[in-house]
Structure 1
């Protein structure tokens, strides 16, 4: 097991990465000073696979856990679902110091985080991500959110967990598409902040894709470390942390325009290529760097072309993105692999041209 610290003064917390960790979550939470009741929020699929091990550890640590289930899927990351969970937590007599544990992928992590942030004005949150995407990205940093209408993550709060536990054994049951989904965020982290990791991925991404434990642990630890450092420097997404939105401006818009039929990682992959090509057209990034990015995304099994969607829908979603400032769409661009920066000075005609050509 390896441990990464997210340094946020009195709200600092640890990310634990390794195999066979689910049964140890209970004792670790107890060691943080929590006891008594605990609430586990999960989806019906993950519950069947992993709840028993987590619950056994909680019970051995003296907790009385309550499990709350939601159906799987982005459609349930909604205010309606959050409202139902508030009612079920009230019925379970959850209190201000009752830890709420998110057991699942990014949807469960986002939803549970939002519920924990708002129930009784905030209860302790523990993230136990079971997908690669959640382990390397969404479980870390305190971004919690729900969707509204066709807008993704439009209602939310910054709310840090008290601990993150990433058990790589849970990745064994992921489909090939879900693994690729997570690898998109790993590639993103490398592209914006770690050229050495990018070079490692270029040579070894097939091993991670095949779920080889050593490669998996390496990429989870490296990606989580990049995010931990950036979050420590900019917790509330007001400066350096915005580089973690690389690929998300076009990506979120494509995802929303598809009615969320595209997985998040697939959409981000498309968005990363778009942002790289915009960077290249602006004279910032070498064509050879764009080619390397496209190559590693393809090795991961990710799409690089924009699917057949209405351009108007894509640009409408982009204009409503939460990253818009004073009606200007903000992009994360690259000077080179590992060197990213934020710009709100991108010609939207160029964006439209690149997205159209990418189809």
Structure 2
């Protein structure tokens, strides 16, 4: 922009926001720098906040004075259908548009995992899967790493054919894959192969363990525990009671206060906190039900006054992420499979991501094969 336009915009922004503002001249092309941030994610979050408040309509993220970098907040990768197979897509929060990133014949994405800022991100594919003679089966499983910054996909390993596969990103950012295979010699035993991959997609650990089905049951990796304590340890969501009806309380250690919030017979699934800890997000699901009969609820709770600000009900599992002031979650209702982007501070739906055939944060409803 020219200097007169830049000066006018600078004066306007100084009246509206408290961020540090800098006018930069590059060969008579003027730009306004808004503050300094610890990461691209934080800078992108602040820029999107200004954009959603209609204070700016175009922005980029820079490192230093001139190096433009990838905006870690603006883009949301997800799984959606393409040519009757689950494929990898990306969504732009500013443009409210999605586009196809990766799709291959014979490669159905069955699970997409990522850390908080989607880097690193990984996914598993299979040729086909189902049940035979009472046992699950899955054919030609492969593991991939996805680089969100340049949209490149790297195949890490061909895992082969077996019964079932589980995967998650652990707290260290490593990718853990558990692959169950029926012992070809002793069919009462399950061989579980555990592979761990690092940030670069390189295998750093491999383990094999055998399980006797009749004695030890079918091996399933331990589920991650809900984050009941807030990051600052100032708040604690506490569950009390029997499975038939559990009561949930919010302990606020800053003011030494304990408040009852709600009771539910549904099973606690996941808990997350907003960055300022003014909100806690809770998902609950009906225990032991399959994806078609499962009822789930997603609650947005204010930690200031310990009340439920908003409740969403879902037919099926609820996968969600807290992304700045946005709550992004799967919407599975009847035959539809969409992703809702909800601004929990403004209490409004920002957008609904929809792809023909369905979409989801980690998998799509029509291809759900269990956790």
TM-score by length of 2: 0.25
**Whose relative contact order is higher, 1 or 2, with alpha carbons under 8 Å and at least 6 apart?**
1
TM-score by length of 1: 0.25
Give the structure with the higher percent helix. Answer: 1
Larger radius of gyration: 2
